């Protein structure tokens, strides 16, 4: 079942777009099934859960943290995390830098933008991001590398609205790229699109889709 879902989703996702299998709350056996189907990128939203799965599963998996991050949890994933999608405050970025520095790593991060209409979704505004990218203190962060942006569209049937929000995130990405990262090839990711809207996200320029329930089935929580 899981392997067929992956195959089917893969057929809609161009090769150059990364498929992050969002395995939050799912048992190890489900991840193993996806792994056996060739999946190597997994997304988790709780640090402890991700650490536990990392310890039990093969080491060629790329672990993506997609959840809301608390400062006191950062250190546990710094040794192995491949990409942190949800950087939504200056404080969290400082904390990631501090912990990464301790073990002499550079950790890849995406800046999370608030693009949806709902107030409940986390994320930064473009003004907030400009303020911290302009700050002298930002240039001193040697142990984080900003690789792009991430966002979640509104949870609505209105496809036009969703497309508009994704297009907005792409525009934000292009403006940041031009103003701050023009000579940095690593700034290339637009993480957008989930089970219900990944096709629309790809049409709007997503480079990375985060798909959970369409692969693993609906979650109880
Ligand atoms: C849970 C989650 C997903 C996956 O959601 P599905 O609708 O199950 O595909 C993607 N991104 C984030 C940030 C999530 O929290």
Mutate to test the pocket of ligand 1, among 64, 199, 210 (most ligand atoms within 8 A of CB): 210
Which atom of ligand 1 sits closest to the CA of residue 22?
A: 4
Nearest Cα to Cα of residue 40 among 65, 57, 25: 57
Write out residues with Cβ below 6 Å of ligand 1: 22, 24, 45, 66, 152, 194-196, 210-214
pLDDT digits (tens, 9 = 90+) for 104-136: 999 999 999 999 988 777 899 999 999 999 999
pLDDT of residue 57: 98
Chain mean pLDDT for the chain = 96
Asked if residue 51 has pLDDT above 70, the reply is yes
39-43, 90-94, 217-221: which range is least confident on average? 217-221
pLDDT digits (tens, 9 = 90+) for 126-162: 999 999 999 999 999 999 999 999 999 999 999 999 9
Mean pLDDT along residues 178-193? 97
Query: Which residue's structure tokens are 């546990």?
Result: 76
Instruction: Give 108's strand partners.
Output: 145
139 Cα: distance to centroid of ligand 1 (angstroms): 32
User: What is the Cα–Cα distance from 162 to 151, expressed in whole angstroms?
Assistant: 11
Cβ proximity of 97 and 141 under 8 Å: yes
196 Cα: distance to centroid of ligand 1 (angstroms): 9
Mean pLDDT along residues 93-99? 98
Asked if residue 19 has pLDDT above 80, the reply is yes
Mutate to test the pocket of ligand 1, among 19, 39, 66, 111 (most ligand atoms within 8 A of CB): 66
pLDDT of residue 41: 98
Which atom of ligand 1 sits closest to the CA of residue 210?
A: 10
Lookup: tokens for 23: 């395995």
Nearest CA to ligand 1 atom 5: 212
């Amino acid at each position: 079942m899981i392997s067929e879902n992956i195959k089917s989703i893969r057929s809609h996702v161009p090769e150059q777009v990364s498929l992050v299998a969002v395995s939050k709350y799912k048992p190890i056996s489900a991840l193993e099934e996806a792994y056996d189907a060739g999946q190597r990128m997994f997304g988790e939203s709780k640090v402890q859960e991700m650490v536990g799965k990392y310890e039990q599963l093969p080491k060629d998996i790329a672990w993506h943290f997609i959840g809301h991050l608390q400062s006191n949890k950062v250190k546990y994933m710094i040794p192995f995390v491949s990409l942190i999608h949800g950087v939504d405050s200056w404080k969290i970025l400082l904390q990631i830098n501090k912990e990464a520095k301790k073990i002499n790593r550079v950790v890849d991060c995406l800046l999370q933008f608030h693009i949806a209409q709902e107030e409940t979704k986390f994320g930064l505004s473009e003004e907030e991001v400009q303020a911290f990218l302009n700050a002298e203190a930002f240039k001193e962060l040697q142990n984080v590398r900003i690789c792009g942006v991430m966002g979640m569209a509104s949870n609505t049937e209105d496809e036009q609205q969703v497309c508009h929000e994704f297009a907005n995130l792409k525009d934000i990405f292009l403006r940041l790229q031009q103003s701050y990262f023009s000579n940095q090839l690593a700034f290339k990711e637009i993480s957008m699109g989930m089970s219900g809207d990944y096709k629309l996200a790809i049409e709007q320029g997503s480079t990375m889709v985060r798909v959970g329930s369409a692969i693993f089935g609906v979650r109880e929580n």
